[in-house]
Amino acid sequence: MRRASAGASQAGRLTVATVQSAVKARLDQYWTRCEVRFPNPSDPNLPNDGFTPLLVVTFPVGRANQITIGAPGENVFRDEGGIRFSLFVPRGFGTEPWDPWLEELRTLFRARQFDGVTTYAPSPAVIDDRETEGTHVPISFAVPYDADLIG
């Protein structure tokens, strides 16, 4: 088990939606290279010019555990999950031009604590070239996280 409740003191009344908000705020503050989209965007389509990269952030897996018992309204619950970053890059330009972008993102979320969220070591970036149609190819990596909720 990681920390007993260190995140709880930081987190206050953290909610699941706050994890997404914390990730969004971190990207808003430090990421300026391209547009970022989160789940259920108003425009779900990729840029159709064939040249504009796009970062899509999703939260594909998670679980929750109760860490403390016996303090109604003050128990600590830990949400653990993964944040997937998919950089959609123009097809046909290779991956090398995007390596610095990916490393910048991985560094931004590698072993960090922000807004009650703790992130750990990112996976290596992998390209999904199974799709042979379309103008973009996704290069993705995942970052495990946890966040303590009080309730």
pLDDT bin (cut points 50, 70, 90) of residue 14 is low
Q: Give strand ranges (E) for the chain.
A: 35-37, 54-66, 76-90, 113-114, 117-119, 126-127, 136-150
Read off the pTM: 0.85
Furthest CA-CA distance within the chain: 58
Share of the chain above pLDDT 70, in %: 88
Q: What is the pLDDT of residue 48?
A: 75
70: left (phi over 0), alpha (psi -120 to 50) or beta: left
Distance between CA 43 and CA 37 in Å, rounded?
Answer: 9
Q: What is the pLDDT of residue 110?
A: 98
Q: What is the pLDDT of residue 87?
A: 96
Give the pLDDT confidence of 117-131 residue by residue, as tens digits.
Answer: 999 999 999 998 776
Q: Once rounded to an integer, what is the mean pLDDT over residues 29-56?
A: 87
Provide CB contacts within 8 A for 113, sequence distance 6+.
7, 10, 119
Q: Where are the alpha helices (DSSP H) in 44-132?
A: 99-109
Mapped onto helix, strand or coil, the DSSP state of residue 16 is: helix
